Structure 1
Amino acid sequence: MRQRFTGHQELGEAYRGLLDLCDRLEALADSIPHRIDGASCRMILAELPERLKQVHALEESILFPAVEDQRTAKDRDALIERLRAEHDHDDQAAAELGRVLQAVLDDRASLGWDAIGYMLRAFFETVRRHVATERLLLAACA
């Protein structure tokens, strides 16, 4: 029997904020190598760690218990382990991206523009896929 769970709207809003950040990362990547908007870059640097932390905390408090209620023990444990591993990967990738963007702002980047653009795109595409998958899980658990 499916149970209704709370926090769906709050998590949806957090996802929208994270996807908005992905859109801004994409715009930054599209501007390479012509012009990097320093103000936009600083805003992203300030917002990214907290936004990701907020989404992951909400997923762990809202989505994970809903998944636990809907799955068999074997499926549930494997799925939760996978989702936690994705959170760790996202956190590490965001930290590395933050270091690279800060280096760009400080005019000390050791990576070329192609590599920086690739890094930006890899990050926001991964995050978008993560959000899409977890939205499907939300829908399945609702």
Structure 2
Amino acid sequence: MHDPGSSEHNNRIPKPLGEAFLSLLERDQRRMLRICTRLESIADGLPGSGKLRRTAREIAFLDRAFDRHMFIHEKFLFPLVRSLCDSRESVEPMLCQLEAEHATDQGLILEITAAYAGAIGSTPRAVGVPLCTLGYLLRAFFENFRRHAAWEKMLLHPVVKDQFISETPKHQHDAVLRYSIGAGRSGRWFPAVVG
């Protein structure tokens, strides 16, 4: 049995803040990619999978998980990247593209939800939407998100890793503190949360 008071437990060093944040980003991306795999399974199983209770749960979970994904990225990651990078011009087009990707994905989720409600007849306005429409929308979402995730992992994650790994844990903590109070690397003030 593990004793919380043991020296082994007390000697465990927590991850530096930057590494913990990178782990959070990677877990979030893996969660979204697992959802994409399940959505692909649903799309492959249509029309039979359209009436399953599991489909409704997956679509509801997709909406909540993607809201969390956007929150982590747009309220924490993007402003933090903007505050850490010396040359904002070099990362700004990349962050704008990812914000556009998020808007596209969010729009697809709204369409998926409406198409599913129409396909099962729970929304009078959209009753009679064919299940093949739901299948096309599911495919559009998971293919778009997989591309978006690969692009993010290839371009954005290295920028974040370079910033966090190249700095000592104290500097990482200071960078997060500067971000949280709205001061950039240079010490100049700017809005911490854009939008």
TM-score normalized by the length of structure 1: 0.82
* Unpaired runs of at least 5, structure 2: 1-16, 162-195
Equivalent residue number for residue 80 of structure 1: 95
Q: Distance in 2 between matches of 1:98 and 1:35?
A: 15
**Which residue type is aligned with residue 145 of structure 2?**
V
Selected match of 1:30 from 27, 44, 48: 44
User: Alignment RMSD, CA only?
Assistant: 2.3
Larger RCO, structures 1/2 (Cα 8 Å, 6+ apart) = 1
Residue 24 to residue 135, structure 1, CA distance change in 2 (3 Å): same
Q: Distance in 1 between matches of 2:106 and 2:51?
A: 24
Deviation string for 1:25-44 (max 9, x for gaps)?
Answer: 10110011344352111111
- Considering fraction of residues, name the structure with more helix: 1
Tell me the matched-pair count.
Answer: 139
Contact 2:35 2:58 in 1 (8 A): yes
TM-score normalized by the length of structure 2: 0.62
Q: Distance in 2 between matches of 1:82 and 1:19?
A: 20
Selected match of 1:141 from 160, 175, 182: 160
Q: Distance in 2 between matches of 1:46 and 1:117?
A: 16
Equivalent residue number for residue 120 of structure 1: 138
Which deviates more from structure 2 when the two are superposed, residues 74-83 or residues 125-134?
A: 74-83
Aligned: 1:104 with 2:145: no
**Which residue type is aligned with residue 143 of structure 2?**
E
Aligned: 1:91 with 2:106: yes
Structure of larger gyration radius: 2
